[in-house]
Amino acid sequence: MRARPAIERLRAYPIGGSREGKIRLDLNESNYGCPPAVLDALRTLTPAQIGRYPEYEPLLQRMAAHYGVTPEQILLTNGADDGIRSVMQSFIDPGERLIVTDPSFSVIRLYAEGMGAAVEAVPYGDALAYPVAALAARMRTAPRLVAVVRPDSPTGSLISREALCHLLSIDREILVMLDETYHHFCGDSCLDLLADHPNLLILHSFSKAWGLAGLRLGLIFGAPTLIETLRKVVPPFSASAVAVAAAHAALGDPDFVTGVVTQVQQEKARLIRRLTALGLNVRDTATNFVLVDVGHNAPDVQRQLAARNILVKSMDHYPQLAGYLRVAIGRPEELDAFVAALRHLLATDAAGR
């Protein structure tokens, strides 16, 4: 059975085989657990909570107070991925143009192309500075939508607030989707910009600093009219009752996220020091991952690490990141195992030359 032509042309997001029991540094999840109160909340879920469709109103009230917005400005989604899909489905017609950096989070392109959008990629230069000027120039050609990931993935680059405001002001008819999945790690969210920018949608995820990737919970923030539009395509009960209970518990423990961010930053600095001492070039980022230049066949290094049950992701398919591995900041012992395995591989490689 043939699918829509736009779908036939796509390649599904590669999930790969089982990752069970392996050291998982490949998908930028958190290996630092979740707030203990979340586990308590899940243990005490009642049959009524599970047997009924989820109750969103109390959570939306609580989130509105937490994030400094109104409940009408928030939509719960099944992870930020679901948020991206919903934005594309709601706002892009076949043939309309979406602007996004290249590289950026691949799911944005996937869902935009699935809607038949014409995706125009604005490439990063070799220094991997956020390509603000090129993006601004492209925005002057009146695309339908611009996707900004802050901090970006996989480059880890951070567009400044000032530059973002500049983009937002170029043309208020252009919708800007700001993906803040990694915002905890750069210490800055732009939710306050919603008040002055009716063309802005902001996506959050509970998959990273909150450590709830398995539960699948995301948020879209925007003007009430935009959220009303999105409500037409987001399934009525996109976030499960389990995710709702977890979110209530998580928001009661904001210190948890601060603690995770501090640990990730410390471990990131330690990892960079040790890899640099091995003579490797490491790119620090404003996220929970780093980019390590292994200087030669990165896919092969990825495979050899995987054979030792250590999962990282080669970035070789992006010209600007050729030779790089993306490595999430896991727990100290996981990073120790990664450094030891990499040191061994590099030593074996050097001896074999």
Ligand X SMILES: Cc1ncc(COP(=O)(O)O)c(C=O)c1O
| Residues within the interface to ligand X (CB under 6 A) | 28, 79-81, 105, 149, 153, 179, 181, 205, 207, 213, 218
| Least gap, CB of 23 to ligand X (angstroms) | 18
- Environment class of 235 (CB within 10 Å of its CB; exposed 0-12, middle 13-18, buried 19+): exposed
Nearest to 111 by CA among 74, 132, 130, 83: 83
Spatial separation of the C-alpha atoms in residues 221 and 215, rounded to whole Å: 20
Nearest to 321 by CA among 159, 135, 155, 123: 155
| Least gap, CB of 255 to ligand X (angstroms) | 22
| Least gap, CB of 218 to ligand X (angstroms) | 4
- Complex with ligand X: residue 80 or 292, whichever CB lies closer: 80
Instruction: Show the tokens assigned to 193.
Output: 């910009």
Alpha-carbon 326 to chain mean position: 14
DSSP string, 255-285: HHHHHHHHHHHHHHHHHHHHHHHTT-EEE--
| Least gap, CB of 338 to ligand X (angstroms) | 19
- Complex with ligand X: residue 109 or 144, whichever CB lies closer: 109
- Complex with ligand X: residue 80 or 159, whichever CB lies closer: 80
- Complex with ligand X: residue 214 or 332, whichever CB lies closer: 214
- Complex with ligand X: residue 42 or 213, whichever CB lies closer: 213
- Complex with ligand X: residue 189 or 304, whichever CB lies closer: 189
Packing angle, helices 106-114 and 79-91, rounded to 10: 40
Which residues are registered as beta bridge partners of 145?
Answer: 98, 175
Instruction: Show the tokens assigned to 54.
Output: 């989820």
DSSP string, 28-54: ---SS---HHHHHHHHT--HHHHHS--
Q: C-alpha angle with apex 186: 250 to 119, nearest 5 degrees?
A: 100
| Least gap, CB of 106 to ligand X (angstroms) | 9
Contact 283, 182 (CB under 8 A): no
| Least gap, CB of 286 to ligand X (angstroms) | 12
- Complex with ligand X: residue 76 or 292, whichever CB lies closer: 76
Only one residue has tokens 């919970």, namely 217
- Complex with ligand X: residue 184 or 274, whichever CB lies closer: 184
Residue nearest to ligand X (CB): 79
Instruction: Show the tokens assigned to 153.
Output: 């993935």
- Complex with ligand X: residue 12 or 351, whichever CB lies closer: 12
Spatial separation of the C-alpha atoms in residues 14 and 71, rounded to whole Å: 35
Instruction: Show the tokens assigned to 7.
Output: 């779908």
Instruction: Show the tokens assigned to 346.
Output: 């590099």
